[in-house]
Amino acid sequence: MMMNENPADLLPELCVLGGAVLGLLCGMFLPRARQWIVGVLCAAALVAGLVFAGLAARRADMTVFESFVLDPVTHVTRGVVLAATLFVVVLAMRPLRGDRRETEFYVLVLLAALGAVVMGMTSDLLVLVAGYLVASIPAYALAGFAKDAAGTEAALKYYLMGAFFGIFMLAGIALLYGAGRATSYEALGAGPGGVVAVGVVGLLAGLFFKAGVVPAHFWVPDVAQGASRVVAAFVTTVPKVGAFAALYRVAVGFGGGFDLSLLLALVAAATMTLGNLAAFGQDNVRRLLGYSTISQAGYLLVPVAVAGRSGMAEPAVLYYLAAYAITNVGAFAVVVAAGRDEVDGYRGFARRSPLVAVALVICLLGLIGTPPTAVFVGKLLMFGAAVDGGYGWLAVVAAVNSVASVFYYLRWVVPMFARGDEWAGALDRRAAVLAVIAAVGSVVVGVGSGVVLAL
């Protein structure tokens, strides 16, 4: 890879940063009724970032500033993070219209997204820490954005857990630096075995926190339930993308005297199983989706565990990330559209709005992994990578978990189509449209998987 110090290679990130700064400045001078302009500005910045990311994806791989890698992992991370953030921004415009701190919301979302991208594209431990903090701190503020009791509690828990695992991470990085005398991933694992083992577990603890993986998953259901619906959609989707990209880079780059893959495989199995089991009894759909994202994180960790052992690992991670992001935001968009949190609140919803109900069904079937949705292809790649990488038992665990997950997703679907119940309530039209778009996108990406994977 050739070295380069051209800031233009980071144009997508600069667009997001510029959008956030410019939005903050504009927000100071705009009257409350017209703060939506900041939302449009931020959306425009994200679109510009997407365009530049798309252009950058056509160029050869390289490293800029000795710490940012421009390779397929980065391209996909950028694309998915920016697209999901754009989705969330548009989703937020209606519920936030006229809010006193509307500008701050958009700016925080953009900054958190920036942090996620930085985490995903860096190859240096110190930049990773910076990305971790940029991704985390705005997210804490977002969790408590509504200033209600539940949101405040969620924000506090989110922050405390983040701080805790942040310390693990910093300590781990300090140990690795001490052992390997470098912060680049290339030097990862050099040094005495015991120190490296403790250090790498500490590093992984921080990443597990962002990814919502056992045993750093505790914040996920609490935040998904306590924060506002839009924020829940954001924090269960965007930071994970960056975290998994970083996890994949660490897993590939780790050159210690021992194998990380077994550790990752055990964590993956535990994560998917725990997430699924805990989701069984949930009556709150946001909590249900929170546990669902934990189990999805478990599936996503499978190809990370076999990184470097199977050629299918990288496409599996990247494809699954994109599929998961589009499907998860779609499901949350339905929650935003309906404005209900209880499973029973969706009784008769299909009669009221068949299209949105079908969109939700598609998203949930997608999360189960039903053909022809995108996650199905992602899961297929994941199974393939696991078997190919010598972790057949992990594929079996994942398959059993997929089957078990049908139960709780259907618990949400069945009441929607129950006869005789009237669903009364207002429907957020914009969110409904976004949900349908996400559902269609999920099917299109799934059906067109051959084309997508060829890119």
Partner 1 sequence: MSALAWSLPALPLVAGGFLLVGRRWVTDRVAPVVGVGVGVVVLGLALWAAFARPAVRFRLFEGVPAGLAVDGLSAVMVVVVAVVALAVLVYAAGMVLGARFFGLMLVFVGAMLVTVTATDLALLLMGWEVMGAMSYALIGFWWRDAWRVEAADVAFLTTRTGDLGLYLAAGCALAGTGTLELGGLAGAGGGWRDLVAGGVVLAALGKSAQLPFSFWLSRAMAGPSPVSALLHSATMVAAGAYLLLRVSPLLEATGWAASVVAWVGALTALLLGGVALAQRDLKQLLAASTCAQLGFMVLAAGVGGLAGGTVHLVAHAAVKSLLFLCAGAWLTALGTKDLGELSGAARRYRVVGVTFGVGALALAGFPPLSLWFTKDAVLAAAAEKSPWLYAVGLAAGVLSAGYAAKALFAVWRPGGRAGERVGVLEKVPLVVLAVAAVVLGVLGVPQVWGAWGRLLGDASAPLPGVVELVVSGVLAVVVVGVSARWRVGEVRWAEQWFYLERAAGLVVARPVVALARGLARFDDRVVDGGVRAAASTGRALASVADRRIEPRVDGVVTALGAGARRLGSAARRPQTGQVHTYYAQAAVLFAVLVVVVLLVG
Q: How far apart, in whole angstroms, are the C-alpha atoms of residue 455 and residue 451? A: 7
Total site size for partner 1, rule CB under 8 A: 41
Read off φ and ψ for residue 340, nearest 5 degrees.
-120, 145
Neighbour tally for 147: CB within 10 Å? 10
| Cβ nearer to partner 1, comparing 271 with 370 | 271
Query: What 3 state SS string does 149-191 have?
Result: HHHHHHHHHHHHHHHHHHHHHHHHHHHHHHHHCCCEHHHCCCC
| Cβ nearer to partner 1, comparing 274 with 356 | 274
Task: Give yes or no for residue 260 binding partner 1 (CB under 8 A).
Answer: yes
| Cβ nearer to partner 1, comparing 55 with 403 | 403
Task: Give yes or no for residue 278 binding partner 1 (CB under 8 A).
Answer: yes
| Cβ nearer to partner 1, comparing 168 with 423 | 168
Among 76, 245, 251, 267, binds partner 1 (CB under 8 A): 267
The least distance separating partner 1 from the CB of residue 156, rounded to whole angstroms, comes to 8
Among 194, 311, 390, 392, binds partner 1 (CB under 8 A): 194
| Cβ nearer to partner 1, comparing 237 with 273 | 273
Sheet holding 62-64, edge to edge: 3-4, 62-64, 68-70
The DSSP call for residue 342 is B
Among 245, 274, 307, 321, binds partner 1 (CB under 8 A): 274
281-340: which residues touch partner 1 (CB under 8 A)?
281
- Find residue 342's DSSP bridge partners: 284
Among 71, 222, 314, 428, binds partner 1 (CB under 8 A): 222
Among 62, 182, 198, 440, binds partner 1 (CB under 8 A): 198
Task: Give yes or no for residue 215 binding partner 1 (CB under 8 A).
Answer: yes
The least distance separating partner 1 from the CB of residue 276, rounded to whole angstroms, comes to 8
Q: How far apart, in whole angstroms, are the C-alpha atoms of residue 344 and residue 348? A: 9
The single-letter code of the amino acid at 137 is I
Task: Give yes or no for residue 144 binding partner 1 (CB under 8 A).
Answer: no
Q: How far apart, in whole angstroms, are the C-alpha atoms of residue 332 and residue 230? A: 8
Neighbour tally for 57: CB within 10 Å? 16
152-191: which residues touch partner 1 (CB under 8 A)?
156-157, 160-161, 164-165, 168
Task: Give yes or no for residue 150 binding partner 1 (CB under 8 A).
Answer: no
Task: Give yes or no for residue 380 binding partner 1 (CB under 8 A).
Answer: no
Stretch that binds partner 1, among 2-10, 254-262, 296-304, 311-319 (CB under 8 A): 254-262
| Cβ nearer to partner 1, comparing 69 with 214 | 214
Task: Give yes or no for residue 393 binding partner 1 (CB under 8 A).
Answer: no
Rg (CA), the chain: 21
Q: How far apart, in whole angstroms, are the C-alpha atoms of residue 373 and residue 55? A: 27
Kindly list the distances between the CA atom of residue 351 and the CA atoms of 104, 111, 423, 428, 430, in Å, as whole numbers in the listed order.
Answer: 38, 40, 8, 16, 19
Task: Give yes or no for residue 216 binding partner 1 (CB under 8 A).
Answer: yes
64: part of which helix (H) or strand (E)? strand 62-64
Among 193, 354, 392, 425, binds partner 1 (CB under 8 A): 193
Give me the numbers of helices (H) and strands (E) for the chain, helices first please.
19, 3
Task: Give yes or no for residue 445 binding partner 1 (CB under 8 A).
Answer: no
Q: 202 near 172, Cβ under 8 Å?
A: yes
Task: Give yes or no for residue 256 binding partner 1 (CB under 8 A).
Answer: yes
Q: Closest Cα to residue 366, out of 394, 314, 326?
A: 326
The least distance separating partner 1 from the CB of residue 422, rounded to whole angstroms, comes to 31
Backbone region of residue 64 per phi and psi (left: phi > 0; alpha: psi in -120 to 50; beta: other values): beta
Residue bearing tokens 């069904």: 361
The least distance separating partner 1 from the CB of residue 282, rounded to whole angstroms, comes to 8
| Cβ nearer to partner 1, comparing 259 with 344 | 259
The least distance separating partner 1 from the CB of residue 291, rounded to whole angstroms, comes to 9
Among 176, 200, 238, 304, binds partner 1 (CB under 8 A): 200
Q: 329 near 237, Cβ under 8 Å?
A: yes
Q: Residue count of the chain, please give it.
A: 455
Point out which residues bind partner 1 (CB under 8 A).
156-157, 160-161, 164-165, 168, 193-194, 197-198, 200-202, 204-205, 214-216, 218-219, 221-222, 256-260, 262-263, 266-267, 273-274, 277-281, 404, 407
